[in-house]
Structure formats: C-alpha cells, structure tokens
Chain A
Amino acid sequence: MTDVLDRLARLAHDSGSPGDATVTADLARGHAALARRRRTTGALAGVGLTLALGAGLGGVVAVQHGGDGSVAVTPDGAPSKGQRIALVDYTGAQPEGFNLAKVPEGYVVQGSDQFVLTLAKPDDTSSYLSFAHKVVISLQSADATGEPKGTAVDVGGKAGVIESAPDSLSRSLYYDDGKFTVEIEVWRNVGLTDEQLVELAEGVTVNSDVVQAPVG
C-alpha cells in the first residue's frame, strides 16, 4: 500500500509552464466568456469595455482633419512638447469590422480580437493584450455604469470626455459614436495631445455589424 501512496504522491508534478500562445489563448477565451455573459445577462450595472471587431466590411471613414498631427492645448496628463508625436494616415490593412484613418506615426496595428484593438510600435513584442505604452481601442459594453470625468471634447459633432487615469500614465477618450460608446486609451509615452486623440477617434469607424458579432 505504501508503494501505491508513494507512486500517487509522485504524480503531483507540474506539467510545465505553458507557452505565451497558450496563455494568450486562455486570455482570449476569458474575454469571450465575459462578452457572452454580458450579452446573456443583459444590460445591468458593471464596468465592461469591449471592442467588437465583428465580421463584415468596414464603413466609410470620414476624415475631418488633416494629417499633420497639429498640436493643441496640453491638459493635465497630456504629453510634454518633447514627447509629442504626429498622426499619420493609416495605410495598412483594415482590421475586420473596423476602420482606422489615422495612427500615431510609427505605430502599427499590433493585434485585435473581438474585444480590443491595440496599436503599438513595430518592435513591441509583447502581447497585444498587454496594454501598457500603447493605444487601445475598445467599445464600452452595454452594462457599463458611471460617467467618465474629465475634459469635455467634441468628437465629430458628438460629445466626448477625456479622462486621465488616477496614475496619470494614460488617458482615455470616451465618446458616443451614435451606436456605441467608444473608448480610446492612450498611454502618456505615446505622446498624443488631447486634440490628436480626438482626431484619432474621428478616424475610427466601427462597423455596424459588430452588434451582431459574437461579442459583448
């Protein structure tokens, strides 16, 4: 019997640390489950932000600003002049269900799923689900509560608010695009001013099909 107990005890080893791809997949499944739960339970209180990159074609992007990345007022939490960066026309492939007109110069679409789109520098090898030091675009879920507090802005004729994170490491622009509340989070190191953040937002078009996409 002791031999059986010893052999059982020896089974308690670790099967090894998973690779990054496995961890990313686990995260993606977690995100999807959250979205499904929100869709199932309906719109109740909660604070979920998701970007739906559903199937379908992108809509027409109304670019309302020039591409020179003009710099405006610098509020609290915004980058200093030395940190500023230009916005440039986005010329890469449009992510599914979603269109971009502008990106910070030197930034690319690092990755996306049904929840989030991440812009990062090309040499950034971190997961696109790691948001630090990047531009992160998402949709606010229907069950979100609470009003963001910060600087009121106009995003293509729609009201928006830029809220600085408590740690001032990032700012988030919330605005209603007519169907969704969109959040664009920009880390301070990216170097976008509030005006550029608004300009970036005005170049974002979320395909209407995302409502039917299997995301929340």
Chain B
Amino acid sequence: MSLRKRRDTDPAFADFVHANRGRMVTTARLLTAGDADLAEDLVQTALVKVYVSWHRVSGEPAAYARRVLVNCFVDHRRKPAVRREQATDDVPDTVAPAGPAALDPTLVAALAELPPRMRAAVVLRHVHDLSVEETAGLLGCSTGTVKSQTARGLDKLRAHLEPQHAHPVPTPGDPS
C-alpha cells in the first residue's frame, strides 16, 4: 500500500473503526463469554487483518470484519494452550461491562457454559440475527450443524437460567 493509498485508506478505515468497533467488541465479549481482555485482543487482531486487506474489502466491510473476528475466535480456540483449558462449573462472579450498558451478566455467564462453537452459533444466530446459512458460512460447518448446535445451546441456556425462574418473587396477594 503506497503512502498515497494509505492516505486514502486510513481515513476510511478510521471511520470504519469509529462506526463498528463498539459492535465488534460486543460480539467478541459474547464469543469469549465476557472475557474482556481476550475480546479486546481478538478485536485488535481482527482489525489488523481488516486493515491489511482493506483494498480487497468490498461491499460490506462490517460483515467482512465480523467474519474475520469469528475466524480469530475459532483460531484462538485451536491454539494448544487454549485447548488445554478446562471447562469449570464455577461461573465468573462478574462480567466486565461492555461500554455504557453492561451486558446481561447472568446470560453471559450462561453463555460461558456452552462449548465455544456452540456459543458462537447461538451468538451469531440469536444475537446478530444471522441466517442459518450465514452462520454456517462463518463457522465453516453445515447448516444442519448450526441448527443442532443452536437448538442444544438454547436448551442449555434455558436450563442454566431456569433456577432463577423457579423461585419467582411473590407478588402482593399471593397466598404464600
């Protein structure tokens, strides 16, 4: 990229970052189940890849950036040091806030209980409202896998969240 091209690219990229970084951070925090540091690392890595490929990015750079971010997340999970991480029953006490409005901490904690790819399928399908086909494309799997992963993911989320609903706050007039 020549300096002159950089002169043209940098303002456009800066505008893109201004407009989209917040959403990328939210996505990353959901994919990482509230790990703010890892989320920031993933966003930074994704933005570097987007910048390097900026001249090839056509159409919707936001969609391209989301694809790159998901790939970064998947690649991160493939690293040996990460694969050695073990799931735990202990749910984090708190989840770092994601900007002005904190993410739903209980729900994010429940997302942390899902395997990473299942979590990603749920986030892409039901947070970002992507189609089954789009989600399958991003995750590099079949549509059938997306359907089964999201269905099982939602079941797990519901099961994790159910205890809260098992003890509803009594309303005035309840016979209890």
Binding site for B on A (CB under 8 A): 1, 3-5, 7-18, 22-23, 26-27, 29-31, 33-34, 37, 46-49, 116, 127, 129-132, 136, 138, 144, 165, 172, 183, 185
B4 A185 Cβ-Cβ under 8 A: yes
Contact with A along B18-44 (1 / 0, CB 8 A): 110111011001100000000000001
Cα-based distance from A179 to B13 in the complex (angstroms): 31
B1 A7 Cβ-Cβ under 8 A: no
B126 A8 Cβ-Cβ under 8 A: yes
B3 A49 Cβ-Cβ under 8 A: yes
A29 B3 Cβ-Cβ under 8 A: no
Nearest chain A CB to B138 CB, angstrom units: 16
- Known contacts A4-B157, A23-B18; 13 further A-B pairs (Cβ under 8 A): A7-B107, A10-B104, A11-B127, A15-B21, A15-B22, A15-B98, A18-B22, A26-B17, A27-B14, A33-B48, A34-B51, A144-B2, A172-B3
Cα-based distance from A127 to B10 in the complex (angstroms): 11
Per DSSP, chain A at the interface is mixed
B126 A13 Cβ-Cβ under 8 A: no
Contact with A along B144-165 (1 / 0, CB 8 A): 0000000000100110010000
Nearest chain A CB to B36 CB, angstrom units: 10
A17 B19 Cβ-Cβ under 8 A: yes
A18 B21 Cβ-Cβ under 8 A: yes
Nearest chain B CB to A183 CB, angstrom units: 6
A26 B23 Cβ-Cβ under 8 A: no
Nearest chain B CB to A129 CB, angstrom units: 5
Cα-based distance from A3 to B30 in the complex (angstroms): 18
B129 A13 Cβ-Cβ under 8 A: no
Q: Which residues of A contact B100 (CB under 8 A)?
A: 15-16
Nearest A residue to B157, CB-CB: A4
B157 A12 Cβ-Cβ under 8 A: no
Q: Which residues of B contact A131 (CB under 8 A)?
A: 3, 6-7, 10
Given contacts A15-B25, A27-B51, whether A8 and B4 have CB atoms under 8 Å apart is: no
Nearest A residue to B125, CB-CB: A8
Cα-based distance from A129 to B1 in the complex (angstroms): 14
A-B pairs with beta carbons under 8 Å apart, 27 shown: A3-B161, A4-B107, A4-B157, A4-B158, A4-B161, A7-B107, A8-B123, A11-B127, A12-B127, A13-B98, A13-B99, A15-B23, A15-B98, A16-B22, A17-B19, A26-B17, A27-B14, A29-B51, A31-B6, A33-B51, A34-B1, A49-B1, A49-B6, A127-B14, A131-B6, A183-B3, A185-B3
